[in-house]
Amino acid sequence: MKREIKFSLVFRDMWQSAGKYIPRVDQLVRVAPAIIEMGCFDRVETNGGGFEQVNLLFGENPNRAVREWTKPFNEAGIQTHMLDRALNGLRMSPVPDDVRRLFYKVKKAQGTDIARTFCGLNDVRNIAPSITYAKEAGMISQCSLSITHSPIHTIDYYTKMALELIRLGADEICIKDMAGIGRPYSLGRIVEGIKTRYPEIPVQYHSHAGPGFNVASILAVCAAGCDYIDVGMEPLSWGTGHADLLTVQAMLKDAGYKVPDINMEAYMKVRSLIQEFMDDFLGLYISPKNRLMNSLLIAPGLPGGMMGSLMSDLEKNLESINKGNQKKNLPLMTEDQLLIKLFEEVAYVWPRVGYPPLVTPFSQYVKNLAMMNVMQIEKGKERWSMIADDIWDMILGKAGRLPGKLAPEIIEKAKEEGRAFFEGNPQDNYPDALDKYRKLMNGKHWETGDDDEELFEYAMHPAQYEAYRSGKAKVEFLADVAKRKTAQNGPAQLPPAAAGTAASLPPAYPLPATPQRMNVDVDGQRYCVTISFGETPTAMDTIAEKGTPPPVPSTPTAGGSGQEILSPLEGKFFLVKNASDTPVKVGDTVREGDIVCYIEAMKTYNTIRAEFGGKITSILVSAGDTVSEDDVLMTIQQ
């Protein structure tokens, strides 16, 4: 009898490997019946990773999105799975233990069957609690091996890790080849090592197509005993995405495996809907280069899942570099030139920071560190001169044990800055926090939600959740879509943000040369939004035309005298990283080196410290506003 291979559609990851966003909940609900009708999927990846944060950026409730999206699959008997970052939960930074425990209860209640847990450092200590919490919640615990290719990450390394996870209680193992750089022979040997000891443990293979190995790898892991294969489908397969369903099905069928048939009429429906969603607005956030396979990705080993955001980051950083080049009368750099410089710097940085597997968030940390080095070097500054706090936590061991040794230059820089290395359990650095957030919600008269799901969301993504609750997130999202559509097509109509929401551009909307205004209706509240283009300021001026505008986390205070604190990079401005932290305010006295604010860029919070002591006389930006490099953030009177 032929051995059966089952398929999982990684619908969430298809989108986030191609661009910045995933479809809105109304679009997800439309496509679900057609995916079910295809009749070939035993599993669908519905949420996890950046899914909830993306919904917050839309100004949508992420808990409603998960419940509505998983429901049709639950009813059809198709298992749903989510991506879980272990110590980091659903975000880029570590999560308190009580928030992690609540995470699984909430997601199970919302209809998610399988928690695919991975640690970006492959530190089993970070994964072990997730096994316990998932099982307590009634979920299947699928634990991942984050695959990368280095002198440290050998067949024996991964086989031992898998066996340890199974002994700790993992129900399944995922071979998470997030960059698609796993070599077919080695991956087959890893699966063989698992199946020899534990033939009853299901193994699922996840990979990206970019470097070109993954079709051969799929054949190799299936020959070794793999049970489930993650696939994508057009028009979002290949490139930085996943191998296409049709190719994988035909290949495995020819090799003698039992594989499901595909309802091609339903397949074409799903394909058509994906293209419709891209034409709506999602294509505005997808770089055409992410549709290409590129062997250059073998060397840096960057994962397909972050290539969408990487190309967006490149665009912003290239603009910053070229502003400096223009001032110095130097030739402008091209995107390809910057990409090569970035890849070369990743290859330089990665071994020096201990070979962390290049998966979220550590792939972003290595990439961000490399990008900051490139930018600082281009501006005539020193390498390693800007390292975000989250990256320092990785270097110092606060996020887990690094697989390799740090370079002497990194150890020396830590000593120069008085930073201490940590050898204990990473979770000990992040004490329980639910009581704090419950108290904050009570103070704001916010409901904690069914199964405490709103409490969970606030504790997991405090800054984004506040922007969502204030209405600011939806206004900024609609404005950004309008700006991109206008820049691409000239005068255009903005698509609805959700069913029943009216949002359109004024009839005579001019070409993007100067700041323009747009009227937006957000859940019954009318706004007039200023959209800036080119060299004009990027922070939006939002005015409520009817009633009182929703509260914003901070309000700029103008008119202070003193020395200026400038933004060192483009990003979003925040006074605090966590809602429970105390922000600085006008009138506060700070010392040189004190933290005064943060700039969130490339998914990490970059600490901005006072370069001199004195009294804060003005704060010129609102929390969540976008700032450009060298924008004035605040003034301090010495």
pLDDT in tens, 132-191: 999 999 999 999 999 999 999 999 999 999 999 999 999 999 999 988 999 999 999 999
Report the alpha-carbon distance of residue 270 to residue 233 in Å, rounded: 9
Confidence of residue 13 (pLDDT cuts 50, 70, 90): very high
Sheet with strand 632-637: strands edge to edge: 563-566, 632-637, 614-619, 589-590
pLDDT for res 538? 34
pLDDT for res 205? 98
Report the alpha-carbon distance of residue 341 to residue 68 in Å, rounded: 43
| pTM: predicted TM-score of the whole model, two decimal places | 0.78
Given a cut of 90, whether residue 540 has pLDDT beyond it is: no
Confidence of residue 303 (pLDDT cuts 50, 70, 90): low
Greatest CA separation for the chain? 81
Q: Specify if 508 maps to a domain.
A: no
Q: Specify if 346 maps to a domain.
A: no
- Kindly report the CATH number assigned to the domain that includes residue 592: 2.40.50.100
Q: Specify if 9 maps to a domain.
A: yes
Q: Is 447 exposed, middle or buried (0-12, 13-18, 19+ CB in 10 A)?
A: exposed
Q: Specify if 5 maps to a domain.
A: yes
Of 107-111, 257-261, 556-560, least confident by mean pLDDT is 556-560
The tokens describing 279, both together, are 């034409």
> Which of 233, 266, 292 is where one domain is finished?
292
C-alpha closest to that of 170 among 116, 127, 131: 131
Report the alpha-carbon distance of residue 518 to residue 568 in Å, rounded: 30
Q: What are phi and psi of 491, to 5 degrees?
A: -55, 130
Q: What is the DSSP string of 409-455?
A: HHHHHHHHTTPPP--S-GGGGS---HHHHHHHHHHHT----GGGHHH
C-alpha closest to that of 627 among 583, 582, 585, 597: 597
Q: Specify if 281 maps to a domain.
A: yes
Give kind and range of the element (H or E) at residue 357. none
pLDDT for res 496? 46
pLDDT for res 310? 63
Helices 335-352 + 307-327 axis angle, to 10: 110
pLDDT for res 548? 34
C-alpha closest to that of 244 among 71, 40, 505: 40
Q: What are phi and psi of 275, to 5 degrees?
A: -65, -40
pLDDT tens digit string along 101-120?
A: 999 999 999 999 999 999 99
Q: Specify if 138 maps to a domain.
A: no
Polymer length in residues for the chain: 638
- For the chain, how far is it from start to end, CA to CA, in angstroms? 81
Q: Specify if 384 maps to a domain.
A: no
In which residue are the tokens 């809105």 written? 24
pLDDT for res 76? 98
Split into its structural domains, the chain has a count of: 2
pLDDT tens digit string along 209-253?
A: 988 999 999 999 999 999 999 999 999 999 889 999 999 999 999
Confidence of residue 505 (pLDDT cuts 50, 70, 90): very low
> Which of 248, 274, 292 is where one domain is finished?
292
Q: What is the average per-residue pLDDT within 292-314?
A: 63
For Cα atoms 311, 315, 318, give the angle at the middle one, nearest 5 degrees: 125
Which structural domain range is residue 43 located in? Answer: 1-81+257-292
C-alpha closest to that of 171 among 199, 131, 207: 131
Q: Specify if 488 maps to a domain.
A: no
pLDDT for res 300? 65
